[in-house]
Amino acid sequence: MAQGGQKGITLTELLVTVAILMVVMLPISMVLLQGDKNYRIEKDTSDSQRAVREAMDLIMEDLRQNDSSSISVYKNNNSSDAAIPALGAPQNSGDVLYGDVLYIKPDIIYFLGKDGLYKNDGTSSNLAVIGITGFTVSKRLSDSNTVSTIIDIDLYAKKSPKDRGINLKSSYRIKSN
C-alpha cells in the first residue's frame, strides 16, 4: 500500500500479483500446449488415413475395370531385377522402388517411390497418392474349392514420427473361368 498520500503500488504488491498470475496461467498454458500437440498428431493421423483410403480406392477401381487374367505381381527384393524397369517402373524420374510392383495389363503399373504411391498409365509415371510409405502386394490361390486367385494389398502411411501410422489391407478375388 502506498503511504503518506503517494499513489501507486509497492514492489511487494507487484511481486505478489505476478506470482499469483503465474500460478494461475501455468496450468492453463500447459493445457493449451497439450491440446495443440494432440491436434497436430490427430491431423497427421487423419491425413495418413485419407492417403491409404485414397490409394486403396484407386487400386481397387483399376483392378475391377481390367481383365483379371492380366494382373501380375513383382516382388521387389532390392536387387537389380531387369523385369521391373521393362514394365515401365521409374526410369527417367530418378525415383527408386521401395516396395512391390502391381502390374495390371495392358498399361497400368503401381509402385512405391520416395514420395508416395506412383501410377504409371502407359505414358508416364505420376505420383498418385502422397504420403504412402509402405506398399506390399502378393498373389495367392484361394483356400476354397473354387479355383480362384487372390491379390492381397497392404498399404501403410505415416506422416510424422509422432503419428500412429495407418495400415490398410484389402484383398481382391480373381475368379477363374
Domain locations along the chain: 35-175
Considering only CA atoms, which of 52, 130, 133 is closest in space to residue 99? 133
For the chain, give the percent of residues with pLDDT over 90.
Answer: 31
* Residue range 73-121, pLDDT digits in tens: 888 765 444 445 444 555 444 445 667 888 887 788 888 888 888 888 8
C-alpha–C-alpha distance, residues 75 and 60, integer Å? 19
In eight-state DSSP terms, residue 125 is E
CA atoms of 109 and 89, how far apart (whole Å) = 7
Whole-angstrom distance, CA of residue 111 vs CA of residue 73: 10
More confident site: 164 or 84: 164
pLDDT in tens, 115-155: 888 888 877 778 888 888 888 888 888 776 666 788 899 99
Per the prediction, the chain carries an average pLDDT of 81
Look up the pTM and report it.
Answer: 0.72
Per the DSSP assignment, residues forming a β-bridge with 175 are 148
- Position 13 scores a pLDDT of 93
Cβ count near 3 (within 10 Å): 6
pLDDT computed for residue 163 by the predictor: 79
Whole-number pLDDT of residue 150: 86
**pLDDT tier at 4 (50, 70, 90 boundaries)?**
low
Predicted pLDDT of residue 33: 96
